[in-house]
Amino acid sequence: MATLADRPFLKMNGAGNAIIVLDLRADPVSIPADEVCAVAARVPFDQMMVLYPPRTPGSDAYVRILNQDGSESGACGNGTRCIADIVFAETGKDALLFETRAGLLPCVRAEGGLITVDMGPPRLRWDEIPLAEPFADTRAIELEIGPRGAPILHSPAVVNMGNPHAIFWVDDVEAVDLARVGPLLECHPLFPERANISLAQVIDRGHIRLKVWERGAGITLACGSAACAAVVAAVRTRRTERKARVSLPGGDLVIEWRHSDDRVLMTGPVEHEFAGRFDPHWFEAAA
């Protein structure tokens, strides 16, 4: 029988970012990539947040973050808020600590039912992104797509916020066909681990409009780590203040790149959609 057959799950979203939450703390088994793809064909999602028993003393759970194509992600801020909401209700705590492949993510309750995730400090060196070749200044690297001399997009900022991100500055996020250029840029040879591709439009010094092609998921209604990366890139290029609202198709996030300790804080909403069980027949069809 398939690993996921008949297991309960929750469908949630964070600012529109479609999340499936799977709790394996009582039965920590590994999930085959083909089963993740089989679920995505039936219950579309951007990330599957899988809870395992904690590995680090003081943490509340170890979390694997799986994209709809079965690949693993290092961080998902919107998904982290979703699992935080569940564990807050379960434990009665006001502060939690989750461990992911990218490190430890503290979470706290915020006003108005919102949740704040500490996404940690950004990584900015070319080899931390990572890039396939050295760039002394990652605020704007040499990369363009489109006709020579008249590129559609060019000179992105690159940031690692648990995942590699490339942020292209545009006058209008709707003026570029992200569905066409996103997969080309995600898999560009310059990004050995692939990359999340963002179009960022600065509205004013406290507001960015963002559209994201997410590595392993495609165009998404929201991407928390991309919102963090966009504000970091905007601050580094003097486009915004250190705290800004980021408007994505699915909703708004508030991002602060704190000067005192270099950490990036993301605050946003959580929504519960429905609970269900994975139908065993889904995985028979996949096999």
Q: Profile the chain (287 residues) by mean pLDDT over runs of 10 residues.
A: 94 95 96 95 95 96 95 91 97 96 93 95 98 97 92 96 96 96 96 97 98 93 96 98 97 97 97 96 78
- Strand 196-204 and strand 164-169: pairing? parallel
187 catalytically annotated: no
**Residue 2 counted as domain residue:** no
**Could you tell me if 277 and 255 lie in one domain?**
no
Smallest CA-to-CA distance from 81 within 63, 68, 103 is with: 63
- Domain harbouring 213, CATH code: 3.10.310.10
Provide the token pair at 154: 């060019």
Number of structural domains in the chain: 2
257 and 136 part of one domain: yes
User: CA 160, CA 196: separation in Å to the nearest integer?
Assistant: 10
What is the sign of the dihedral through the CA atoms of 41, 46, 47 and 48?
A: negative
Q: How far apart are CA 262 and CA 278, in angstroms?
A: 41
- DSSP one-letter code for 140: S
pLDDT of residue 149: 87
Confidence (pLDDT) at 144: 94
Give the residue numbers of the binding site.
17, 47, 67, 77-78, 163, 196, 214-215, 224-225
Q: Under a CB-based contact definition with an 8 Å cutoff, are residues 232 and 244 in contact?
A: no
Binding-site positions for substrate read: 17, 47, 67, 77-78, 163, 196, 214-215, 224-225
User: What number of CA atoms fall less than 13 Å from residue 44's CA on the CB side?
Assistant: 7
CA 30 – CA 185 distance, rounded (Å): 30
Residue type, 208: I
> Are 132 and 252 contained in the same domain?
yes
Q: What is the pLDDT of residue 287?
A: 56
Question: Distance between CA 167 and CA 129 in Å, rounded?
Answer: 12
Overall pTM surpassing 0.75 (yes/no): yes
d(CA 131, CA 210): 23
Q: What are phi and psi of 99, to 5 degrees?
A: -110, 130
Do 244 and 130 lie in a common domain? yes
Same domain for 254 and 164: yes
Residue-number span of the structural domain to which 98 is assigned: 7-120+270-283
* pLDDT value for 277: 97
Q: From the candidates 37, 76, 82, 107, give the one annotated as an active-site residue.
A: 76
> Do 238 and 131 share a structural domain?
yes
Residues 17, 34: Cα–Cα separation, whole Å: 22
Catalytic status, residue 228: no
